[in-house]
Structure 1
Amino acid sequence: MFGPPRAPGWPALLRDGDVLLRPYRRADADAWAGVRRDSEQWLAPWEPTPPGRWSTYNSTRAFHRLRRSHNRSAATGRSLPFAVVLADDGAERLVGQLIISNIVRRAFCSATVGYWVDHRAAGGGITPTALALAVDHAFGPGRLHRIEVNIRPENVASRRVVEKLRFREEAFHPRYLNIDGDWRDHIGYALTVEDVEPDGGLLARWHAVVAQRRQKSAGGVADQ
C-alpha cells in the first residue's frame, strides 16, 4: 500500500560545516530541557508568554508534547521544524531550534520563521548559518516563495542576524504578540526567492559576508 504523500521539503537534514539542522528525536528531550532551563534569562524576554511556569513549560514532558505537535504539523505541510545542532566528529550538541511555520500555499506560498539559540552558543555564526540553510531549503524543496521574520525592536541581536543576511524591513506591527507577559511591538522583515537568486542562495550570501569580514581583519573575525 502507498502511504500518505510527504509534505514538500520534509523530512530533511541540512548542514553547513558543523551546523546541522534535523528533525527532533525522542532522545533530545533531556538536552532540550537542559538548554531551555539554562537559557531562561536569555530567552524569556523574546519568547511568547508561556501558559505557566518556565520550568514546567520547558520540561522533558513538555518536549515530548512539542515534538508530537511538530511532527503532526510537518506531516501536513504546515511547518518545517528543525533542531539546531553542532555536529563534530560524530558527536552532536543541541544548541537551538528553528521553525518555519504558518505555511500558506497556493497564490501566497509564504511562511514565518522563528528561532532561538543556547546563550552559550550565541555569537558564533550559528544562527545566521541555520537561518540561511533553512531559507534556501524552504525556497527549494519546500516550494515557498516568501519568508518573513518578526522581531521585537529591542532584540538587537536577532535583528542583526536578519540584517546581515539582508532581509528587507517591510513593516512595523504594534502590539503584535504577547511576549514576556505583555503585548509587544514587532518589526517585520522578509525575503522572496527572487531576492537571493542573484547570490546563488542565502547561504552563499552569508558565506560571502563572512569572507569579506575575514579579508578586512588581519586575524579573522568573530561572526555573531
Structure 2
Amino acid sequence: MTLGWPVELEHGSVGLRPLRRRDSTTWARLRRDNAQWLGPWDATMPPEGGSASTSYLAMTGSLRSRARRGQSMPFVTTWDGEMVGMVTVSNIAWGSARTGTIGYWVAQSHAGRGITPTAVALVCDHLFTTAGLHRVEIAIRPENVASLRIVAKLGFTPIGMAPRYLHIAGAWRDHQVFQMVAEDVPRGVLERATRTT
C-alpha cells in the first residue's frame, strides 16, 4: 500500500477522494456530456497499440490495482460533494527518483471556478508531505491554454518540449513538460497559490 493512500483531501468546496466502482454512472455521464470539451486532450490508443478497454470497471480495476502497488493515485475531484472531474497521479517511481506524473480533467460546467488548480495543489501538497515524493511532472499540449494557466498559477517550472510525447485525438502530439520539486514549495503549493492570487 502506498504511503498516504487512500486519502481524502479538501479545501473549501473542492474535495478529492479515491475513485470508486460506484462512480460509474456519474463518470459515464460526465464523459458523455463533455466528450467535445475533453476530446482534443484525451489520450488515445495508437494503431500499433491494439484497442484500449473502454469499460469503466476495467479502467477502475486497473487504476485501483496500480494504486495498491504504489504506482498510481486516482482521485475524483468534487465540488460541494458532487463529482466534477478527476486528478490522477500515475507513473509513480520510488527509490532514488521519488517522482510522479499528474493528469487532470474537469467538466466544462465547472471550468473557470478555480477547482482544478486547487485540486492539483492539494494533491501536490499530499505527494510532497505525506507520500514523500520529491518531484511531480505535468505534460500539456501547447494548444491547451486553460491547462497552461493552471501550471503557471501553481508555479510549475517549464523544463522543455517533448516531441510526439503522447497519442492524443488520433496522432502523436508534442507536449510541453513542467515540473515542481519539494524544495520549490517549502510552505506548500496551495499556500503559495492562494498567496499569489
Q: TM-score, normalised by structure 1?
A: 0.83
Q: Which residue of 1 aligns with 2:29?
A: 34
Give the secondary structure class of the aligned counterpart of 2:123.
helix
> Deviation of residue 132 (structure 1)?
0.1
Candidates 156, 168, 171, aligned match of 1:167: 156
Matches within 5 A, 1:1-224: 6-49=1-44, 57=54, 62-87=55-80, 92-197=81-186, 200-210=187-197
CA RMSD across the alignment: 1.4
Offset, 1:50: 5.1
Q: Tell me the number of residue pairs that the alignment of Structure 1 and Structure 2 aligns.
A: 192
Match of 2:50 in 1: none
AA of the residue aligned to 2:169 = D
| Equivalent position amino acid for 1:20 in 2 | G
- Displacement of 1:206 in angstroms is 1.5
Give the ranges of 4+ consecutive aligned residues of structure 1 lying more than 4 Å apart after TM superposition.
none
Letter in structure 2 aligned against 1:132: A
Identity %: 45
Task: Give the counterpart letter for 1:201 in structure 2.
Answer: G
What is the TM-score when the length of structure 2 is the normalising length?
A: 0.94
1:72-115, CA deviations, whole angstroms, 9 ceiling, x for partnerless residues?
1111100111000112xxxx211001011101111111110000
Contact 2:45 2:167 in 1 (8 A): no
SS in structure 1 at match of 2:130: coil
State the Cα distance separating 1:25 from its structure 2 match.
2.0
What whole-Å deviation, never above 9, does each CA across 1:14-59 have from its counterpart, x for those lacking one? Answer: 000011100112221111000000000110101111589xxx83xx
Any idea what SS the aligned residue of 1:134 has?
helix
Q: Which runs of 5+ in 1 are unaligned?
A: 1-5, 211-224
Give 3-state SS (helix, strand or coil) of 1:73's partner. helix
Letter matched to residue 183 of structure 1? W
